[in-house]
């Protein structure tokens, strides 16, 4: 069993009682601490009362829309979220990522595939915790908080999503170097690149807007046309 599993508390938001109990039983058997919730209205309370490392969130809920719920979660938490839904088209997945999802798993899915997806997020969480005291900085006093998965400049938080933070942090580690879209998809979005998938472009657009909102301009994410993206700083 993965040595980091014991660190992970998972909130499963699923209205189907059979699937919900199945996920709870299977994930608990794998060593995770699992809380099952079928009421969208209780999610905010649970997230504010308990510390969760991961949320598995169904989109189609009887008393709320999972995408709207995800937007609300992102207003106060950067907890990693895996969306699960019978709505599995490319456009549905793109909307999910745009709303702040870290991964999107169409129904029906196998526990083996869910294990792989959770494992990928688990590795990111382990890295963030191990790097707790070595958070990198970039020019212009922009500080990266690897636990909060956000950046702060002169006391103002950018309110990045977890995915946006990973993209910016990766670009920062390779400041001045063009990173191709396949590399960014693999390393930051944890999935293969598709030229029809525009979610990376949307994430970058959001990063730019959020950095502007806190008046940070010492570094900027630039497009390398036909190649990818690069973080250009005043001293790069």
Out of 1.20.1730.10, 3.30.365.10, 3.40.50.300, 3.40.50.2300, which CATH number does the structure's domain 5-130 have? 3.40.50.2300
What pLDDT, in 10s, does the model give residues 217-228?
Answer: 999 999 999 899
pLDDT at residue 212, as a whole number: 95
CATH class of 137-233: mainly alpha
C-alpha to C-alpha distance for 28 and 24, rounded to whole angstroms:
6
Burial per residue of 114-142, b for 16 or more beta-carbon CB atoms within 10 angstroms, e otherwise = beebbeebbebbeebeeeeeeeeebeeeb
pLDDT at residue 52, as a whole number: 85
The pTM for the full model equals: 0.57
pLDDT at residue 27, as a whole number: 92
How is the chain split into domains, by residue range? 5-130, 137-233
What pLDDT, in 10s, does the model give residues 148-201?
Answer: 788 999 889 999 988 899 999 999 988 899 999 998 988 888 788 888 888 999
Is omega for the bond preceding 199 within 30 degrees of 0, making it cis?
no
The residues of the chain scoring below 50 in pLDDT are 1-6, 132, 236
Instruction: Output the CA torsion sign for 74, 158, 54, 231.
Output: positive
pLDDT at residue 167, as a whole number: 94
C-alpha to C-alpha distance for 60 and 156, rounded to whole angstroms:
35
Mean pLDDT estimate for the chain: 85
């Amino acid at each position: 069993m993965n040595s980091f599993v014991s660190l992970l508390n998972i909130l499963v938001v699923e209205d189907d009682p059979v699937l919900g109990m199945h996920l709870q039983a299977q994930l608990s058997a794998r060593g995770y601490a699992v809380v099952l919730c079928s009421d969208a209205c209780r999610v905010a309370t649970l997230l504010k009362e308990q510390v969760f490392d991961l949320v598995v969130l169904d989109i189609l809920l009887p008393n709320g829309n999972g995408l709207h719920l995800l937007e609300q979660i992102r207003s106060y938490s950067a907890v990693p979220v895996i969306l699960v839904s019978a709505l599995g088209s490319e456009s549905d997945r793109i909307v999910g990522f745009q709303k702040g999802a870290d991964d999107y798993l169409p129904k029906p899915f196998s526990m083996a595939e869910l294990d792989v997806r959770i494992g990928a997020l688990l590795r990111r969480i382990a890295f963030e915790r191990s790097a707790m005291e070595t958070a990198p900085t970039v020019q212009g006093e922009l500080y990266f908080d690897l636990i909060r998965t956000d950046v702060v400049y002169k006391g103002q938080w950018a309110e990045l999503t977890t995915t946006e933070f990973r993209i910016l942090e990766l670009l920062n580690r390779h400041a001045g170097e063009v990173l191709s879209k396949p590399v960014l998809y693999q390393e930051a979005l944890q999935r293969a690149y598709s030229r029809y998938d525009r979610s990376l472009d949307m994430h970058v657009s959001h990063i730019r807007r959020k950095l502007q909102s806190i008046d940070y301009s010492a570094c900027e994410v630039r497009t390398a046309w036909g190649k990818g993206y690069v973080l250009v700083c005043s001293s790069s």
